[in-house]
């Protein structure tokens, strides 16, 4: 498959996906969202792939939504905003419901929607200097589409603090809030990645897939058709076209 915003490298029983828009710190735009969804769907359906590793090229893992993309969203109709939000939600769902083990390695920055990718992953390894933020409230909107995945991962108490304040926090706090699994120095990222790959390669791929289904069943998130995904897409669509959302995004662009 040919991609423009990501790069894929296939290995023996594993695959690496690298976000590849380093000039904008791998900010999400419609094409990247589509290509990531396609890539995870494709790799997740392959019998020869057991582990998928997601990383970012350049200085940051992902800086959230691309500025040009955000400007376009501000002018979308309600229906266009719902459709757009559902595509982003579909990306998180595709990662979350993937039967393969998904390891995400973050560095530099992990902002806004990038935290949806993190929360949907199985294992998250973070460079100790990585900055995180659920910055949506500062734009007059909320982190709606990522919320089902984030709340399941870190719980309501942590989600309230991080989502309501929109504050910047670092990898050590992300570890405390359970957004990431482990924090290491930049020089140890690859070693830690290899350790987790080895764990999964020593496990039965059938058992890993069944265990992921079991965990989703136990926490009540086993249905890909759960209406919460559409509901959160409608919520963010309403907020984007609201007076507060329009004003917040306009102020952001002025800066």
User: pTM, whole model, 2 decimals?
Assistant: 0.96
Strands of the sheet with 14-19, listed across from one edge: 6-11, 14-19, 51-56, 101-106, 123-127, 182-184
Angle (deg, nearest 10), helices 147-165 and 78-96: 110
Reply yes or no on whether the pLDDT at 193 is more than 80. yes
pLDDT band at residue 225 under the 50/70/90 scheme: confident
Contact 199, 122 (CB under 8 A): no
* Domain coordinates in residue numbering, the chain: 6-192+224-254
What pLDDT score does 34 carry? 98
Reply yes or no on whether the pLDDT at 94 is more than 80. yes
Task: Kindly state the average pLDDT of the residues 186-211.
Answer: 98
Please work out, in degrees rounded to the nearest 5, the angle formed at the alpha carbon of residue 224 by the alpha carbons of 223 and 226: 65
Which pLDDT tens digit goes with each residue over 129-144?
999 999 999 999 999 9
Q: Residue 131: enclosing H or E segment and its boundaries?
A: strand 131-133
The pair phi, psi for residue 107, each rounded to 5°, is: -155, 165
Angle (deg, nearest 10), helices 67-74 and 243-254: 150
Reply yes or no on whether the pLDDT at 73 is more than 90. no
Q: CB count, 10 Å around CB of 90? A: 18
CATH of domain 6-192+224-254: 3.90.226.10
What pLDDT score does 127 carry? 98
């Amino acid at each position: 498959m040919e991609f423009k915003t990501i790069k894929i490298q296939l290995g023996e029983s594993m695959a690496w996906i690298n976000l590849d828009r380093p000039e904008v710190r791998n900010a999400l735009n419609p094409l990247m969202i589509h290509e990531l969804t396609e890539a995870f769907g494709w790799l997740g359906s392959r019998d020869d792939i057991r582990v998928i590793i997601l990383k970012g090229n350049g200085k940051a893992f992902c800086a959230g939504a691309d500025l040009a993309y955000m400007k376009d969203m501000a002018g979308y109709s309600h229906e266009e905003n719902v459709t757009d939000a559902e595509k982003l939600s579909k990306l998180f769902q595709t990662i979350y419901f993937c039967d393969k083990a998904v390891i995400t390695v973050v560095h530099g920055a992990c902002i806004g929607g990038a935290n949806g990718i993190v929360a949907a992953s199985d294992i998250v390894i973070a460079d100790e200097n990585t900055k995180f933020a659920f910055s949506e409230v500062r734009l007059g909107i909320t982190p709606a589409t990522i919320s089902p995945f984030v709340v399941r991962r870190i719980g309501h108490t942590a989600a309230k603090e991080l989502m309501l304040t929109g504050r910047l926090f670092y990898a050590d706090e992300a570890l405390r809030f359970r957004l990431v699994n482990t924090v290491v120095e930049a020089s140890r990222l690859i070693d830690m990645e290899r350790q987790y790959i080895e764990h999964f390669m020593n496990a039965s791929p059938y058992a890993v897939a069944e265990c992921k289904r079991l965990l989703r069943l136990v926490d009540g998130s086993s249905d890909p058709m759960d209406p919460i995904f559409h509901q959160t897409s409608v919520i963010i669509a309403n907020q984007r076209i609201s007076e507060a959302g329009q004003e917040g995004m306009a102020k952001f662009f002025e800066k």
